[in-house]
Amino acid sequence: MRILITGGAGFIGSNFVRRLLLGAYPWFGRFEVVVLDKLTYAGNLANLAPVIDDPRLDFVRGDLCDTGLVDKVMRGVNTVVHFAAESHVDRSIDGGLAFVTTNIVGGYVLFDAARRHGADACVAVSTDEVYGSIDSGSWPEDHPLDPTSPYSASKASSDLLALSLHRTHGAPVTIVRSSNNYGPYQYPEKVIPLFVTNLLDGRKVPLYGDGGNVREWTHVDDHCRGIALAAHKGRAGEVYNIGSGHTLSNLELTDALLRLTGNDRSMVEPVADRKGHDRRYSVDFGKITAELGYRPEIPFADGLAGTVQWYAENRAWWEPLRRATV
Ligand code: NAD
Ligand code: TDX
C-alpha cells in the first residue's frame, strides 16, 4: 500500500502523517508514505520531526501544479490524501491569486493524475466554509454551495472539479468538509495559535468586529481520524462533513483562552471586522457517523487546554514563525 499525502508538512497534513506512521490507523495495514509539499510559509519540516527518520516516509518538495512531478509521485500510489492548499481566509482577502492557482489548478492536476494512474481512493480535504454562513442549525452535505471569501470559493471550485472528474471519468474522489480545526503545530496566523502566542508573550489579541461570529471547533486528531476512515471506506463521488458539534462565539473562545493563560479582558483589542466575515458555521456530520462510524472523541475543554499547554512548551517551534510574520 502506497499513500500519497499532499500538504503533509502543514498543520493538519503533518498531524495525519505523524499519526499514520505512529500506528493510529491500523486499517491501512502495511504501507509506505510519500509526502508532496511545496513548503510555502505554512509548510514546515519541523512539523514532521517526530517521524522524519521513519524509513516508510519519503518527502518530496514540489508544487501541486507541476504536472510532470505529480505524474512522477503518483506512480504506484493506491491512496491519495489531499491537504495541500492556501488555507488562510485573511490572506485570500488581501490577494486571491495563489488560492486560485494552488487550490483550483493544483487540485485539478492532482485529481486527474489520481484517476489516470488508477489510484483506488483520493480524499480531498475541503471545508465547511464552502456552504457559507448559517444563522441556526447545521448544513448537511447536499446544501447548495455559497462561498464568501476567495479562499472558500477556491475550495468550492476544487470540490466541483473533483466531483466532475468522478461523474465524467469515474475518478475515485471522496470529499470531506470539516469545521474549524485546532491543536498543536497550527501556524500562528489562525485565531487560536495567534491569540495563544500573543498572550504567552504578554501581547493583546485582535478580536474582529463584535466577537459574535461563531465557529464549530474540531480537534485536529478527530478530523484526521475522520479523513482516515474516509480514505479506507468512504464512497467515491460522495461528500462527508466532519465536525464536533461544539460551537462557540469568538468572544467565548477568547474568554476561554484568557482564562487558560491567566489573563483578563484587558488583553482584548477590538479591531475592524474582516471583510465579508461569515457570521456562523455549523456542520451536520450525521452521514459520516452513520456510514463510517466517525465520532468526535476529544472534549473541547481538554483539547483547548492541551493546545495551550503545547504552545507554552514549544516556543522553539513558533517563535521563528512569529518573527517571520510580525
Ligand atoms: P496549512 O496552511 O497549515 O498547510 C498547507 C500545506 O500545503 C503547507 O504545508 C504548504 O506548504 C502546502 N502547499 C501549499 N501550496 C502548495 C502547492 N502549490 N503544492 C504543494 N504543497 C503546497 O493548512 P491546514 O490548516 O493544514 O489545512 C489543510 C487542508 O485542510 C486545506 O486544504 C484546508 O483548506 C483544509 N481545512 C482546514 C481547516 C482548518 O481549520 N485549518 C478546516 C477545514 C479544512
Ligand atoms: O486575528 C484574528 N481575529 C479574529 O477575531 C483572526 C486571525 C481571526 N479572528 C476570527 C475570524 C473568524 O471568525 O476568528 C475566527 C476564526 O478565524 P481563522 O482562524 O482565520 O479561521 P476561519 O476564517 O474560520 O477559517 C478556518 O477554518 C476553516 C481555516 O483557516 C480554514 O482553512 C478552514 O477551511
* Dist. CA 3–CA 5, nearest whole Å: 6
Q: Where are the alpha helices (DSSP H) in 95-211?
A: 97-99, 107-116, 150-169, 191-200
- Which residues have a Cβ under 8 Å from the Cβ of 113 and sit 6 or more positions away? 67, 70, 71, 74
Strand order in the sheet with 79-82: 57-61, 32-37, 2-6, 79-82, 121-127, 173-178, 239-242
* Cβ of residue 206 lying under 6 Å from some atom of ligand 2: yes
Q: Could you give the CA distance from residue 92 to residue 75 in angstroms, rounded to a whole number?
A: 33
Q: Is residue 284 annotated as a catalytic residue, yes or no?
A: no
Strand order in the sheet with 214-219: 180-182, 214-219, 247-249
3 state SS of 176? strand
Cα of 158 vs centre of ligand 1, distance in Å, is 13
> Same structural domain for residues 25 and 151?
yes
CATH code, domain with 47? 3.40.50.720
Statement to judge: residues 211 and 150 lie in one domain: no
117 & 95 share domain: yes
13 shares a domain with 137:
yes
pLDDT given for residue 231 in this prediction: 98
Cα–Cα distance, 6 to 17 (Å, whole number):
10
Indicate the number of domains in the chain: 2
295 by DSSP, 3-state: which? coil
| Ligand 2 near 250 CB (within 6 A) | yes
Mutate to test the pocket of ligand 1, among 4, 5, 12 (most ligand atoms within 8 A of CB): 12
C-alpha 301 – ligand 1 centre gap (Å): 25
Q: What is the pLDDT along the chain (326 residues), one digit of tens a residue?
A: 999 999 999 999 999 999 999 999 999 999 999 999 999 999 999 999 999 999 999 999 999 999 999 999 999 999 999 999 999 999 999 999 999 999 999 999 999 999 999 999 999 999 999 999 999 999 999 999 999 999 999 999 999 999 999 999 999 999 999 999 999 999 999 999 999 999 999 999 999 999 999 999 999 999 999 999 999 999 999 999 999 999 999 999 999 999 999 999 999 999 999 999 999 999 999 999 999 999 999 999 999 999 999 999 999 999 999 987 65
For ligand 1, residues with CB inside 6 Å are 6-7, 9-13, 36-40, 42-43, 63-65, 83-87, 102, 106, 125, 127, 155, 178, 180-181, 187
| Predicted-complex ipTM score | 0.99
CA 128 to chain centre: 11
Task: Check whether residue 89 and residue 223 sit in a common domain.
Answer: yes
Please indicate whether residue 151 is annotated as part of the active site: yes
Q: Is the C-beta atom of 91 inside 6 A of ligand 2?
A: no
Residues 36 and 119 in one domain: yes
Q: Which of 129, 159, 216, 278 is catalytic?
A: 129
Closest C-alpha residue for ligand 2 atom 34 = 127
3-state helix, strand, coil in the chain (%, to 5): 45, 20, 35
Give yes or no: residues 141 and 21 share one domain: yes
Res 326: pLDDT: 54
Residue 109 and residue 207 share a domain: no
Query: Is 128 assigned a catalytic role?
Result: yes
| CB neighbours of residue 262 within 10 Å | 7
In this prediction, residue 323 carries a pLDDT of 81
Q: What is the CATH number of the domain that holds 317?
A: 3.90.25.10
> Same structural domain for residues 97 and 199?
no
Shortest-distance ligand to the CA of residue 48? 1
* E strand or H helix at 208: strand 205-208
Domain shared by 188 and 177, yes or no: no
Are residues 188 and 232 both part of a single domain?
A: no
Catalytic residue among 86, 128, 159, 216: 128
Looking at the structure, tell me whether residues 104 and 205 fall in a common domain: no
The 10s digit of each residue's pLDDT in 80-99 is 999 999 999 999 999 999 99
Domain that holds residue 149: 2-181+219-242
> Residue 110 has what pLDDT?
98
